[in-house]
Each structure stands twice: as structure tokens, then as C-alpha cells.
Structure 1
Amino acid sequence: MSRADHMDVAAYALGVLDEHDTERFEEHLATCWACAAELETMVPVVGLLSDIDGETMTALEQTATDPALLDRTLVAVRAHRRRTRFRQMLASAAAVVVFGGLTGVGIASVAGGGETPRIGAQPTAPTTLDGTPSPGKSTGPNDPGTGGNEQEGEPFTAVDASTGVQLNMWLISKDFGTRIDFQLKRLPGPRTCRLMVVRKNDTTEVLSTWSVPGGGYGTTTNPLPLELSGATSVPKDDIAKLVVQSVDVNGVASPLVQVPM
């Protein structure tokens, strides 16, 4: 192999060889450990050169006849690299601060016996004489629409004292009428259910029907609640109450839980 082949390492690393010379050098590289070792040492240099954009290269070419311009260009390039490294260092430091803050919360939870620290007083929901939340607008931190819940609409909640079924609702006024998002817990199955809207003039409308599997929703067997949406042409101010009913095989309906407006 000629000496010229050994001198193509830098040109190959910078990617300036044509296709024929590249293939010839790669064949040589496969059997020459000296060139392979030299190529490995050039990898960091090639990485640094890749950070220099076209404008910087043009400026460097112009410095061939102007030593003072060369000095200014090199100073500018070094300053740019220092700023880049400084920004990277700040980003790394910010990540460490965020991670440290999250870790601190985790440590506080462990040290406190697993309890999550709470700030400020927590509101409580009104209850009936039997201790269940009273129907109407919800006010508790875990009730719909409060305690950081981002659900849209006016929230309501109710728990039926006899069936134990819990209903959380969000009513949103729309141009077409009212959209109703609702969530059911402690709903046993299997059964067929429907949501009824009762207007203030005592007329009714079925908004939605669904089937409940044997494990139910929001139960010990299936802890996940049932979440559905419905819509009606009735304006929100004309709704007297919303009722969830259980419908048997003969079509006879019985109330499970209701929310008065």
C-alpha cells in the first residue's frame, strides 16, 4: 500500500473524498490498524468542526490574507462555543433541581408514613342525617369539579341512601341545549340502566341507556367508575332533576339515584 493511502485518513474523516477514493480507502482501512487508530483519534475533531456553520467557514477563508481577522474570528468561535456549553450546563442544572424537588417530595412522603403533605384547610361536603353526602352541588375536594378537577361544567353529586349508588354530574350549557357528563360509582350489576331528565313542567326524556356487567362499576370487584356523556335540547335552567334508573326485563324502571337541580 502506498504512502498516499495512509495520508487519506483526514480527508476520509472530513468526507471530502470522492466515491472511488472512499471505496479504495475503506478497503485499505480494513487491513491497516494504524489508519484505523488514527481515524479514531479524529472523531472528536470532526465533531467540533461540525458545529461550525457556513458563515464561519467563509469568514475563516477570508482570514488567509488578514491575520487580524483570523484572530477576531477565532475569538468569536471560542466565545460561541463557551455560550453553547454554558447553556447546556444551565439546562443540566435545571434538570437536577427539578429532579431534586421531586425526590424531596418522595422522601417527605416516606418520612411522613406515606401521607401526602397537604397545604391549607380542606373543604368538606355537606351530609345528611345518615352521614351520606347531601344531593346538589358538590363542595368536597374529591367531588366533581373541585379539588383541582379540570372537568368542564357546573358540578353536582348525590348518593342514594337506600341503593348506595353515587352519581357525579357536570352540566354544560350549549347552544343546542345542555351537555351532561356523568360518573357512577357503587353501581352493582348485572343490570340495564338509563338516564332520565325531568323538566320543570314534569315531562321526561331518556338521554342515555347502558348495560352494567356482573362486576358493576366503582365496586370492590371493579373499582373503576362508569363515565358517560349525554345531551338534551332542554336548557339547563329548565331541568328539574336528573334520575338514573334500573330497567328490568319487562321494561319496568326503578330509581337508583337522582340529582335535583
Structure 2
Amino acid sequence: MSRADHMDVAAYALGVLDAQEAERFEEHLATCWACAAELETMVPVVGMLSGIDGETMMALEQTQTDPALLDRTLHAVRLDRRRTRMRQILAAAAAVVAFGALTGAGFATVFHDDRQFQQAEPAPTVPTAAPSPGPTSTDDPNIGDNIEQEGEKHNATDPGTGVRTTMFVASKDYGTQIYVQLSKLPGPRTCRLVVIRKNKTSEVVSSWSVPGTGYGTSARTTPLELSASTSAGRNDIDKIQVQSIDASGIATPLVTVDDL
């Protein structure tokens, strides 16, 4: 078995032999366990050397007379691949710069100011404590008369709890919008707003926590104001109720608007 036969192992692994040479080597490989073993060891490096063309392989064959040529050849291949990779990186960077120049401030906003996304997100409906337009006594049973809101106005005071409310109910394409103002509402407690339909089904449309000072009380004179909506049509609603929820989840009515 000649040295040339062993050199065919690398050439065969890389697929650079012509059909006649490949057939001759395969006949040799069937009877030479050394070449078969060497071919098996070549498999892991085939991927690394797959970019070497036929001319480079011819140069590799010359390492029979110049062993140092192999190292120089492999070094040249690695250097060429590094240069190709660097050109790809520079081209990508140039594309990013060009895109940034075209899009201007919008590009900077997307990649450098995520607060824009946070501002774009819709805020959930939450109860807010807002002062009335002018000095209003919480002893006035018609508290909220001076508030301008859309929809039908309804006042109610619960004789047992003393909680007072003014509600505005407006019909919408999507259902019904409800604006609520509450006073004489002590805390701390957890409350919810419930829509009770004429078919006796109910829907919780809002919930909130009441601090220890309450709302519309001597400790905190400003009433609680909140808005909510329901898919129920205006004519399908029988009553709207504010309920207090204890730690066990048991609901207790605080005030009810039932003159709808």
C-alpha cells in the first residue's frame, strides 16, 4: 500500500476524487483496514474542510514533500473564513445604520425607549377618589347633583348602612356605561359593583379596596368616583348594587339603585 493510497483517504472524504479515482479507492478500501480506520477519523473534520476546493486539495497533496505546507494551507483557509465572516458583520451593521437613518426618531423610540410601549397599553378601569367641583356637604342626600355626566342620574341611600350613591347609567353600542359616586362609605373593606339583570343573572363589573379613612366621611370628605361598563343592555338591567366582601368572600349589600 503506497503513500498515495493513504492520501486518497482525505480526498475521498472531501469528495474531490473523480468517478474513476473514487471507484479505485473504494476497491482499495474494501481490503485495507488501515485506510478504513483513517477514513472514519476523517469524518469529524470533513465539515471544517468542506470549503476547500480542488486546487487547495492539490496543494494538500504536496504536503508529501513539504509537511509545513499543510499548516500554511489550513491557516489560509481559516483566515479567509474570518475575512468572509467580518464582511458579513460589517454589511449587517451598515444595513442597521442605513435603516436607522431612514426611520429617524421612530427607530430610536422602538429600540431605546420601551416606555412608549408602556404608555400605549390601555389602563384598566380603577376607582379614583376625586374632589367634587365645589364644597359639598356629605349630609346632603342629593350629593352629586352638580356633577355633569352622561346618562340617566339615580340617587340612593341605604337606610341600614348609611352609604349614599349617585349613579349615571348610559346606553352604549357595546352595552351600558356606569358612573358611580359613593359617600358615607367607611373602611377598611373590599367592595365590588354588581349589575343584576332582569333575568336574575349578575355580573361583577368592578372591585376596589377602601382605606381606613373611607370615602365621603369626616376623616376623608372627598367621595369615591369610579366608572365601569357591562355588555348588558340598558333595558336588561334590573338594579345596580355596591357590595362589601369579607375575608370569607361573603357579600353584603351596602347600597342599591333599583329605580332603573
Higher RCO, 1 vs 2 (CA within 8 Å, ≥6 residues apart):
2
TM-score, reference length from structure 2? 0.45
TM-score, reference length from structure 1? 0.44
Name the larger-Rg structure: 2
